[in-house]
Amino acid sequence: MESVTADYHPQDLKTQDLQVNSSGDMIKAQPNASVGVVSCTHDSVTMKHIVTSAPQNCPIMVTKNHAACVSMQRERPKVGVGVFVLSDCHPHCVLVGKRKSSSGEGKYGLPGGHQEFGESWVECGEREVEEETGLRMTGTRFSAVLNVVIPDENYHYVEFFVQGHVDTQHGSEPINVEPDKCDGWEWVDWDTFLPLDTVFEPLKVIREQGFNPFQ
Ligand SMILES: Nc1nc2c(ncn2[C@H]2C[C@H](O)[C@@H](COP(=O)(O)OP(=O)(O)OP(=O)(O)O)O2)c(=O)[nH]1
């Protein structure tokens, strides 16, 4: 099912017209106490959908055939896990890769990903490291947590950081297992590190806060 997105700006509701998206589907909204009414017009058929109020910039999903026409959700923060991968072969370095995914594209981030249902942070971190680099970890433990909110990008992650060492019994150098997601992995010295404008926001923030995985 093809879908398009638009932004819902509660304060704009007085203007009636919310947005006309690129594929020509008309999205209108009007205030109705604490709920909004979104009208969607596809192929000359207009349907109204009552939606609850949502935070600013909350996306509205509008599908082509009206089925589930508006699934406007109150968005909740997502949980990400970033892993400080340390190695005896590269003292005082952490493993970073230039990201190709939409969030933080072109910036250096740690191996990691989204926590899956039922996983611990450590399990998530170890799984992501193996999926992305082929490396196995040992002695992995919690290291820090951040609440990262970037309103302009509709980004809110509770970001857990874990750290551990490469289990060299199963290989000691990373492979770029997901070249569609990462340009390649590099060991970077934590003291000299990288220019912060080249670093993915959560990693940048934790570094600026003085966190040190070697202490
Ligand atoms: N990988 C990684 N994720 C981070 C970091 N800081 C915050 N995150 C948050 C934001 C990311 O969108 C989210 C999930 O990480 P990725 O985008 O790398 O996930 P991945 O493409 O592996 O997705 P998946 O877990 O397979 O859905 O975790 C970091 O330094 N590295």
Dist CA 120 CA 109 (whole Å): 21
All structural domains of the chain with their residue ranges? 3-63, 78-208
- What backbone phi and psi angles, to 5 degrees, belong to 3? -140, 155
Dist CA 122 CA 127 (whole Å): 8
78-208 carries CATH number 3.40.50.300: no
**Would you call 127 helix, strand, or coil by DSSP?**
helix
Q: Each residue of 21-64: pLDDT tens digit?
A: 444 443 444 333 334 445 555 555 555 554 444 444 444 444 33
How many A from CA of 79 to the centre of ligand 1?
9
How many A from CA of 189 to the centre of ligand 1?
21
Which protein residues are within 6 Å of ligand 1, measured from CB? 80, 82, 101, 103, 109-114, 128, 157, 159, 181, 200, 202-203
Pocket of ligand 1, candidates 103, 148, 194, 204: which has the most ligand atoms within 8 Å of its Cβ, to mutate?
103
Greatest alpha-carbon span in the chain: 65
Q: Each residue of 119-174: pLDDT tens digit?
A: 999 999 999 999 999 999 999 999 999 999 888 788 899 999 999 999 999 999 99
Length of the chain measured in residues: 215
